[in-house]
Structure 1
Amino acid sequence: MSVYTVFIDALKPSSLRHMDFLKTLSSCSIEPDLINFSNTCQASIYTGVYPNKHNHQFIWTLDPQNSPFELLDNRVADFSIRDKYTKFLVYNLLALKNLKTVPYGFLYFADKKPSYWANFSFEEVSHSGRPDHCLGGYPTVFELIHSAEMEYSVDWHVSDDLSDIEIQDTEEDFNYFYFGHVDPASHKHGQESDEAIEVMKQIDLILEQIYEQTSENDTFIVLSDHGHVHIENFINLADEFERNGENLNDYMHFVDSCYARFWPKSDVEKQRVTQVLESMEKGEIITTDLLRQFNSELNCDQDVILYYLSPPNVFDVVNPKTESMHGFDCRLPDSKGVFVTDDESLDAEEIQLQDFLPTVLNQMNISIPPHVDGENIL
């Protein structure tokens, strides 16, 4: 018996209607993590534990000791690297040298001094090459399968042309396929666009090919990490601070698409930042109680103010041509991910991301570790 799993980045439940093969199987929605960026959600999928344990909430964190831009922490860099073209070149060169990738974030860093960049480090869950075997100190599904002396295969497809993909026959104990195409198509055009629907239809044809490899005793699973929400307004946080007589750059902060984090150095700073954020009326400051409710407490040494921007708004660190975004309230229907299987025993209406790992282990007759937060659903 083998398990065949296909991961589709950012597919929401309502989009199954565009996938003629996939919609014939059993399915339910997945409630993503509260901060449902891909990094957070995929860490939860692979480890089976909540974000407050694997601690992969944001890809950029306040961590000067491990910053890929450590060399820029000086006045010479600030003086010599000032225009956006030079900043873009330096950002790409240092990112490629130290991270082996060029991550999301330049639109945020573009108007900051290079020495400010050196406050932040980057860590991303792998979606190419060798899969992560441990995240936040917890073994991933790949490591647990390996430790059980069973075999797995991984077939990553992040941005390659779908029409050129050839699925090879594979009969390992666990066969994992990753498709990252729906997410960028949704960002650029919206998930209900003709362009995104065409991408989903192409993936659906490939899924059918994969399913044809399975035998009667195998299990076939398709899942996504989150959905996509339509956006309309791009909010400049610096303007919001200026309207309140404050300078955003006076405060240590980082802005993601729909979240802004602040690390106040004093009670006075905390009060001033809080006053500005509460005056915006476009979102809310996320309380510790809400983070705790969703097992998403931020594990860091410093006090953090976390502000959430509600849809259809995003901060203008997002490409202005973007039509759709994720990361919003996990309770919104369009924020949900999807779980699909050929196993007709599925009777849940909604599951958690953390349920994937114990479900796979159960299908493979591998003991589920006691630290796992999810539950077997098949």
Structure 2
Amino acid sequence: MKTLILFLDAISSTDFNEKNCPFLWNLARNGAYGSTEIIPSCYHTEYSMLSGCLPLKHNTWTWFYLKKNSSFSKIKYILPLLKLLEKLKLKKIARNMADVYINLFRLFSGKTRFLKSYRIPFELIGDFEIAVDKSYVDHNPLPVPTLFDVFREKGIRYAAMDYPTISNNKGTFFYFGKSDFKQLRKVNKLLRKNSVVYAHIWELDAIEHKYGLHSKEALEHIKKLDNRIKEIISSCKEKIRVIIFSDHGGCNVKKTRNILPSIKDYSEKYFIGSTDAQIWLKEPSKKDELKKILKKEGYLIYDEENIGKELKIPYKRDFVGDMMIAVKPEEQLYPDFFRDTGKVASMHGYTEKMPELNGIFIANGFDLKTRKIKDMKLYDIMPTILNAMKIKIPEVCDGKPRVK
């Protein structure tokens, strides 16, 4: 029997209905279904989803952290050229050159997790490093086992794709074809050779950022995905079990905040994301003074006193900073280190919750008594998949199986 596992990035539970995705809706009605509550941290949630562990156990929750002699620090060798290209108004060429240079260095260092430099200022980029060395589909990327590590241990033949990496029982490789529908064509081929196929389908996330949650463009893409998934499952000659889940929804942006004027005089280093910022202070003695200013301005503040309890993130200064500042749902930070423009329709990655941010989980084709899944968190996904497949759940998991 084949098992297909699809991670459909950014499908909100509020967009999941019979009108928008009739085939997936039917799978849910004839299987087990529920919404998934977000993990209150901002990035790399896939590492928690596919390990069943909160960031307290693996510290993988942000894209970048402060580190001397990082792979990004090697950019100093081409920095004069990059700055010249910027002066010549060739910013896109400069960024592409920086990204290729940095990620080739990471590749030759044996790493399989790659990120762009986005809009991190070139004079600051050498102070930061990507927070994890391996893609989560790679072999043993964390100090805890992932879903794919368990498959290998049990001798289950699998293929797992998250662009640009594809992993199987033998190793981790690279592939081309980033678009959703190119990946889904590859899924069809992989199902012929493997017992389990996993793929991360991601384009809806970018569409919702640009056009908004519930937008015509987003709903059209959901419908196209629905049709293509129907074709794949219908064409499978063997009986097939299906798991489909999303990591988050989104909420439409109503307010833009510029945090830089508030923090620049206090900061030795800072990293500004789209919904949060990490600050390393010049003078730690002025921390309470800055916290008072930021609280008055309406920001949420996390540090060694509350980040473990509230966000389930370990306090490590090189990752969190002296403090991490977050905005509330429906707000964004701009300018930030990721974008050229603050014109964005929707956002996610908040530390506070709201229904539109919830994702979905579907299990179909398994011998399950459960129909309506309740109280599901993102870190319950791996234990729930393993329980549905009747595979023992690692004791280290924080998550619980939500189906029987």
Coarse TM-score class (shorter-chain normalised): 0.7 to 0.9
Q: Aligned pair 1:198/2:220, yes or no?
A: yes
Which digits, 9 at most, give the CA deviation of each residue in 1:127-159, with x for residues without a partner? 7xx922223322221122012111002355774
Partners of 1:60 and 1:84 lie apart in 2 by 29
1:27 to 26, 29, 33: 33
The question of whether the paired residues in 1 share the 8 Å contact of 2:270 and 2:278 is answered with: yes
Give the AA of the match of 2:96.
N
Distance 2:345 2:315 in 1: 29
Quote the offset at 1:161 in angstroms. Answer: 6.0
8 Å CA contact 1:47–1:138 kept in 2: the answer is: yes
Correspondence 1:266 to 2:283: yes
Shift of 1:308: 0.9
1:41-98 CA-partner distances (Å, limit 9, x unpaired): 1001121111121211111111122241334299978986874946654443232122
Aligned 8 A contact 1:346 1:377 in 2: no
Checking the alignment, whether the CA contact within 8 Å between 2:383 and 2:399 is kept in structure 1 is yes
1:237-287 per-residue CA deviation (whole Å, 9 max, x = no partner) reads 22345xxxx636x43111111101112243234234324322322x21125
One-letter identity of the residue aligned with 1:369? P
- Structure 1's unaligned 5+ residue stretches are none
Residues in 2 aligned to 1:193 and 1:164: alpha-carbon distance in whole angstroms: 24
Task: Report the counterpart of residue 99 of structure 2 in structure 1.
Answer: 95
Structure 2 counterpart of 1:311, which letter?
P
Per the normalisation by structure 1, the TM-score is 0.84
* 2:167 alignment partner in structure 1: none
Query: Equivalent of 2:269, from 249, 252, 257?
Result: 252
1:349 aligns with 2:361: no
Question: Whole-Å Cα distance in 2 between the matches of residues 106 and 62 of structure 1?
Answer: 16
Matched, 1:106 2:118: yes
Question: For 1:204, what is the secondary structure of its paired residue?
Answer: helix
Q: Is 1:323 matched up with 2:335?
A: no
Counterparts of 2:287 and 2:200 in 1: how far apart (Å)? Answer: 42
Match of 1:305 in 2: 323
1:119 to 100, 119, 127: 127
2:357 to 315, 335, 360: 335
- Aligned residues of 1:95 and 1:102 also touching (Cα < 8 A): no
Instruction: Report % sequence identity.
Output: 21
Report the secondary structure of 1:139's partner residue.
coil
Which of these residues, 276, 284, 287, is aligned with residue 300 of structure 2? 284
Contact 1:34 1:296 in 2 (8 A): no
Query: 1:311, CA displacement in angstroms?
Result: 3.0
Provide, for residues 149-195 of structure 1, a one-character-per-residue CA deviation record: whole Å limited to 9, x for no partner: 11002355774263895333436332213211210110111121111
Helix, strand or coil at the partner of 2:200: strand
Cα distance in 2 for residues equivalent to 1:118 and 1:180 = 29
Alignment partners' CA distance in 2, 1:279 and 1:150? 54
Q: Secondary structure at the match of 1:206?
A: helix
User: Are residues 22 and 71 of structure 1, via their aligned partners in 2, closer, same or farther at CA, if it must alter by over 3 Å?
Assistant: closer
> Is the Cα contact below 8 Å between 2:233 and 2:240 reproduced in 1?
no
Do 1:52 and 1:299's aligned partners in 2 also have CA atoms closer than 8 Å? no
Residue type of the alignment partner of 1:306? M
Whether 1:46 and 2:50 are equivalent positions in the alignment is yes
In the alignment, which of 348, 368, 371 is matched to residue 393 of structure 2? 368
Give 2:313's aligned residue.
296
Q: Which amino acid aligns with 1:229?
A: C
For 2:274 and 2:103, how far apart are their aligned partners in 1?
Answer: 21
Deviation for aligned residue 1:5: 1.0
Aligned to 1:199, the other structure's residue is in SS state: helix
Query: In the TM superposition, what are the counterparts of 1:62-101 in structure 2 within 5 Å?
Result: 62-72=66-76, 83=87, 85=89, 89-100=93-104
Pair 1:82–1:251, CA change in 2 (3 A): farther
Which region of structure 1 is more displaced relative to structure 2, 80-89 or 324-333? 80-89
Q: Distance in 2 between matches of 1:135 and 1:126?
A: 5
Q: 1:182 aligns with which of 204, 210, 215?
A: 204
Query: Partner letter of residue 295 of structure 1?
Result: K
Change (3 A) 1:330 1:171: farther
Deviation at 1:331, TM superposition (A): 2.1
Tell whether the 8 Å contact from 1:45 to 1:357 is kept in structure 2 after alignment: yes
Query: Which of 53, 59, 64 is 2:63 aligned to?
Result: 59
- Of the structure 1 ranges 79-88 and 117-126, higher mean CA displacement relative to structure 2 is found in 79-88
CA 1:254–1:375: 2 relative to 1, 3 Å: same
CA gap 1:164/1:215 in 2 versus in 1, 3 angstroms? closer
Q: Secondary structure at the match of 2:243?
A: strand
Report the residue type matching 1:118 in the other structure: G
Q: For each residue in 1:275-309, what CA deviation from the matched residue of structure 2 results, as whole angstroms up to 9, or x when unmatched? A: 4322322x211254354244223434585201111
Contact 1:3/1:363 (CA < 8 Å) preserved in 2? no
Contact 1:185/1:196 (8 A) holds in 2? yes
Give 3-state SS (helix, strand or coil) of 1:322's partner.
Answer: coil
Task: Give distance in 1, aligned partners of 2:41 and 2:146.
Answer: 20
Cα pair distance change 1:82/1:298, threshold 3 Å = farther
Q: How does 1:226-241 map to 2 (within 5 A)?
A: 226-241=248-263
8 Å contact from structure 1 (residues 163, 202) kept in 2? no
Structure 2 CA distance for aligned equivalents of residues 275 and 105 of structure 1 = 32
Which residue is 2:4 aligned to?
4
Q: What residue is the counterpart of 2:172 in the other structure?
A: none
